[in-house]
Amino acid sequence: MATEQSYIMIKPDGVQRGLVGEVIKRFEQRGYTLKGLKLMNVEKSLAEKHYEDLSARPFFPALVDYICSGPVVAMVWEGKGVVATGRKMIGATNPLASEPGTIRGDFAIEVGRNVIHGSDSVESATREIGLWFPEGVAQWTPVAKPWIYE
Ligand code: IDP
Ligand code: MG
């Protein structure tokens, strides 16, 4: 099995609203493996680099301020299809369009306070994990693996 990884980040509003455990619970319960985890304040330069594809958008300065407004929880989750499935679990970018049952659909209303980030492709995930975890991630194999994968 290819070990696909995704960069998942609980944004400052998610941390402030006490949603850290709820988000981690959903990824754990689905069967994904936590490979990296840290609570950190974000330098402006890192937020700008993370969202560099959006730098021409009018909301870019507010987005960078939002990401730097309090600590985030930076995570790497691993498992089959975690990038696409993680995006489904997170829901649409605009929470009003997110289905109930998704993280944004259950916990958010506005696009500028949408609680969580998830990589949108395997290539983005590789770039984002390199950016947020230059020190690398943990190596381990969960004992439940044969009970999650056949
Ligand atoms: P995504 O987070 O669902 O991948 P992107 O289009 O990559 O969505 O946008 C990155 C982040 O920028 C969004 O999660 C949201 O916080 C913010 N954002 C996107 N579009 C808007 C907007 O129209 N107004 C304000 N913030 C926005
Ligand atoms: Mg995105």
117 is catalytic: yes
When pLDDT is averaged across residues 68-84 and rounded to a whole number, the result is 98
When pLDDT is averaged across residues 114-121 and rounded to a whole number, the result is 98
What digits encode the pLDDT tens for the residues 50-74?
999 999 999 999 999 999 999 999 9
Q: What percent of the chain has pLDDT over 90?
A: 98
pLDDT at 48 over 80: yes
- Top-confidence residue, 96 or 2: 96
Q: In terms of DSSP H, where are the helices of the chain? A: 12-16, 20-30, 44-50, 60-67, 82-90, 103-107, 122-132, 145-148
ipTM: 0.98
pLDDT confidence bin for 102, thresholds 50/70/90? very high
Q: Quick check: CB of 96 below 6 Å from ligand 1? A: no
pTM of this prediction exceeds 0.95: yes
Handedness of CA 73, 47, 126, 133 (dihedral sign): negative
The domains located in the chain, with CATH, are: 5-137 (3.30.70.141)
Report the distance separating Cα 50 and Cα 48, nearest Å.
Answer: 6
Contact 96, 109 (CB under 8 A): yes
Q: Is 26 annotated as a binding residue?
A: no
Q: Out of 4, 91, 117, 119, which one is annotated catalytic?
A: 117
Q: Quick check: CB of 120 below 6 Å from ligand 1? A: yes
pLDDT at 20: 99
